[in-house]
Structure 1
Amino acid sequence: MSSPTTSRMPREQRRSQLLRLATEVFTEKGYQATSMDDIATAAGVTKPVLYQHFRSKEALYVEVLDVIGEAMLVEVRDMAGRGGDAEDRVRLGLRRFYELMSLKNSLRLFTGHEVVSDEVKERVTRILDEMSIELAGVLLSYRALSTGQARILGRGLIGIAQTTAQQLHDAADDEERDEILSTVTAVVVDGLTSFALVEQTGTEHADADDPAPEQDASHP
């Protein structure tokens, strides 16, 4: 069997190529079933070339998580600019999260099955926390919530999105997926609509712990 041949490529371009192909292999096979040989073969390079860019399989895997995590963060940020009512936004958000997580089985990279070390676990937790904070910002843009409430809801909604993505992944057909989306969307929207719209309050998002502003004595 002939060894892989490598064409000359600028270092950063080569690194980006290796990272992209590693993402494909990891998301297709999972961490445990993937070897550095598999990734080198997919990239058409020798294993020493791969190690020139990434010191270990785990280090490469952590960067793969960052790539997928950044794609999810972009989706959460984009939610703020989407039109439609609360139900439309929630349904679309859940579906997009599912599509991202299900792309070549990348769902399992974020559901605990591929947590292989403390560093990987910490990275997954950090990515999900960042998503929660971004989602909290989206919620604050159109619901009258304190910062604390928004963060609590953000974390909860990310958890719901993960569970829903797994259910959608396991669903037998499109009809079952539609039922899952409709049910979860109804629950989430019902909860969110219990908070007033920002336009209805005419107030900024004050943190629940912030002291109330002092009133002028001449205006009781």
Structure 2
Amino acid sequence: MEKGDERKKQLLRVALDVFIEKGYYGTSTREIARQAGVSSGLLFHYFSNKDSIYLELIKIGIQEMKINTKMAMNSPRNYLLKLLKIRLSS
């Protein structure tokens, strides 16, 4: 994986944490950049604005839901076992 892809994923992880903590309206790109330890300019290299970050997170969430749904439909038993393991390890 390229360094740019890793950086983008790191920014998205931080952004998700900030959105969860502060909500959409309480979150700023400046705060995301600060918590990620990067400049606002670098954040804007990857994302045009707060909306584009938020939409990317929504797309990722939808993709994960599709994968989870497919897993559940293909093998309900294995899917439930994986969910149980995740819950027990939390």
Please report the TM-score for the alignment, with normalisation by the length of structure 1: 0.33
Count of aligned positions: 78
| Counterpart for residue 82 of structure 1 | 76
Distance 1:74 1:28 in 2: 26
Distance 2:65 2:56 in 1: 14
1:27 deviates by 2.3
| Counterpart for residue 67 of structure 1 | 60
Larger % of helix: which? 2
Matching of residue 49 in structure 1 with residue 42 in structure 2 = yes
User: Percent identity among equivalent residues?
Assistant: 33
Matches within 5 A, 1:97-136: none
Please report the TM-score for the alignment, with normalisation by the length of structure 2: 0.75
Runs of 4+ in structure 1 off by over 6 angstroms are none
1:15 deviates by 1.0
Distance 1:37 1:47 in 2: 6
Matching of residue 16 in structure 1 with residue 9 in structure 2 = yes
* Greater gyration radius: 1
| Counterpart for residue 104 of structure 1 | none
Matched residue type, 2:24: Y
1:45 deviates by 0.4
